[in-house]
Amino acid sequence: MKRTGIVLVASTLLGIALGGAGSTAAPTTGAMSEASARVAPAVQVPPGNKVVERLQAKGVQTYTCTAGAWKGLEPAATLADRLGRAVGLHSRGPIWVSTVDGSAVEAAPVDGARNEVPGAVPELLLKAKSTRGDGVFAGVSYVQRLNTKGGLAPTGACTEGAQTSVRYEALYTFSVPAL
């Protein structure tokens, strides 16, 4: 990632932590519970894998205007554990990095593995492309984006090169191969 990308992600995350960042706000209704995470068949992790971590994300989906339409550029979110402690970051790649142990996972969406959510970015199943470190993200095989709220691209015309960030929340689950 270029230095400007790091600065953009860091400043966006700082803005989120301070309650700012983003020009379009999605409603926030408090923490999303695991119990409310009913997994659609399209985004279920394949058999032979087990969930090892669940982290709540709050941040933004950033869009840029290209050829007169809003296109996804990158996410920037803080990941929190069950106690609400910030334990990671989510950014362009997509990649998830533990701020506790430095481990990371980069993943790509699985073709056709999406569940549309009214008024929010879709739920997704992503397959790990690479991992690093020996921490929480070591050996992750799949990532799920569930319980999404907000984050949809703006509608209507836009000015070429313009950018906007839209608040979103999601529950990310991380699975490893079951041994």
Q: Which ranges of 40-153 would DSSP assign to H, the alpha helix?
A: none
Dist. CA 124–CA 43, nearest whole Å: 6
120 close to 151: Cβ distance less than 8 angstroms: yes
What's the one-letter identity of residue 160?
A: E
10 Å CB burial of residue 61 (0-12, 13-18, 19+) is: buried
pTM over 0.75: yes
174 close to 105: Cβ distance less than 8 angstroms: yes
Average pLDDT of each block of 10 consecutive residues along the chain (179 residues)? 40 40 34 56 97 98 96 98 98 98 98 97 98 97 98 95 98 96
